[in-house]
Amino acid sequence: MKILVLSDIHGNMDALQALMNNVPRWDEVWVLGDLVDYGPEPYEVIDYVRSLSPRHVLRGNHDHAVAFGVDCGCGERTHDLSVYTRVNISMKKVSKEHVEWLKSLSPVERVAEKGLEAVIVHGSPRNPLYDYMLPDLSFNDYMRMLTPSPLTLHGFRGRVTGLVVSGHTHIPMDVSLGDVRIVNPGSVGQPRDGDPRASCGLLDTETMEFRIIRVKYDVDKVLSKLRALITDGEVYQRLASILLTGKV
């Protein structure tokens, strides 16, 4: 079985559509959260994701912020961009029904089906919404993030082992640490690893190969949509720079 893993689409329907038009054959879809904020089309992204009938779909920290009217808790360098686009785009475009659907999602799930066991999470088992399991962390940092806190147990007992599929960082990753393997598909709508192409992962459950797929899309088209929605020139220029360079 081949599982298409999507994360951090962030209202970028053009990136998502280009990716879906070009990915190899897949059998089911997992979505790791953050469908909204930063991009111009959160409504369209939510509807499209739901039309895919994903086997699993998580609530990311930006989805959580839109659903519950709280801060996104994201990185300092993009926090103001998040607030601006949430107030001026996401909250104006998503419907009440979308909000209720986002509320219904969990930021972490266990998977035990068809011979595959895994933990899928937006952030980390310790902090499913907000932890960044980045590729350059120390071994001890990973071990701490793999150990759920009393407030975020989600049925876990002790440190998580086996396969962990995580999003949130916008950076693709495949790291093995003894009895645990952490993979990240990168970001569909806002890559931040220096490659601006839309990113996703394809997990082959027979070979356990995790393949990163990158697809070029029409960034200028997305920028024209953002330009029509954003009145603050600095905000627009910073968002444009991220989309054009794949860097914050």
Q: How confident is the model at residue 67 (pLDDT cuts 50, 70, 90)?
A: very high
Is 99 within 8 Å of 66 (Cβ atoms)?
yes
pLDDT of residue 164: 97
pLDDT of residue 59: 98
Which whole number is the average pLDDT over 71-99?
95
pLDDT tens by residue, 9-52: 999 999 999 999 999 999 999 999 999 999 999 999 999 999 99
Listed by start position, the domains of the chain span 2-245
Which homologous superfamily is 2-245 in? Answer: Metallo-dependent phosphatases (3.60.21.10)
pLDDT of residue 115: 82
Q: Which residues contact 77 (CB under 8 A, 6 or more apart)?
A: 248
Dist. CA 214–CA 117, nearest whole Å: 26
Q: Can you say whether the dihedral through the CA atoms of 204, 208, 147, 114 is positive or negative? A: positive
Q: Is the pTM of this model over 0.85?
A: yes
Q: What is the Cβ-side half-sphere exposure of residue 63, based on CA atoms within 13 angstroms? A: 31
Indicate whether 151 pLDDT > 70: no
* Percent of the chain surpassing pLDDT 70: 98
Strand-by-strand arrangement of the 116-121 sheet: 108-113, 116-121, 162-166, 180-184, 173-177
pLDDT tens by residue, 216-234: 999 999 999 999 999 999 9
The DSSP code for 176 is E
Ranges assigned E (strand) in the chain:
2-6, 28-31, 56-57, 108-113, 116-121, 162-166, 173-177, 180-184, 198-204, 210-215
